[in-house]
Amino acid sequence: MQRVFPIGKAPRFVLVDRVSFRRDYAAESVGVPPTTGWPIECVGSGVHADQAGELRDHFRKSGVDVTVKDNGNPVYTNAAHRRKALKCRGIVDRASYI
């Protein structure tokens, strides 16, 4: 059985036909990485256009297959690819869902 409550109004326990149901807070706070919107061109981890070749060489030497556009921005195909590419450069994204 499913009951819908307005945001902030859900009780901790619900009694239905003498059966108590407990609210699952962990299930409500699960974050799921987005699956739409990939591939992305990341401006935040990009470099100046003059350094695009150096960034391509760095990825190649590190064994990470990343396309770097002529403007210096890398293109990531999915979240795991992005995580791996950032890790090889020593960049930590604290706002990510890692």
| String of DSSP letters for 3-56 | ----TT---SEEEETTEEEE--HHHHT------SS-SEE-STT---GGGHHHHH
- Assess if residue 75 is contained within a domain: yes
- Assess if residue 79 is contained within a domain: yes
The predicted pLDDT at position 48 comes to 97
- The model's confidence at residue 25, banded by pLDDT at 50, 70 and 90, is confident
The predicted pLDDT at position 97 comes to 59
Q: Count of domains in the chain?
A: 1
Chain segment 35-72, per-residue pLDDT in tens: 678 899 999 999 999 999 999 999 999 999 999 999 99
- Assess if residue 60 is contained within a domain: yes
- Report which of 48, 50, 73 is spatially closest to residue 82, judged by C-alpha positions: 73
Domain limits for position 71: 40-89
- Assess if residue 54 is contained within a domain: yes
- Assess if residue 64 is contained within a domain: yes
Average pLDDT over the chain, rounded to whole?
85
Q: Is the pLDDT of residue 32 over 60?
A: yes
The predicted pLDDT at position 93 comes to 85
What average pLDDT does range 6-35 have in this prediction?
A: 73
Contacts (Cβ under 8 Å, ≥6 apart) of 25? none
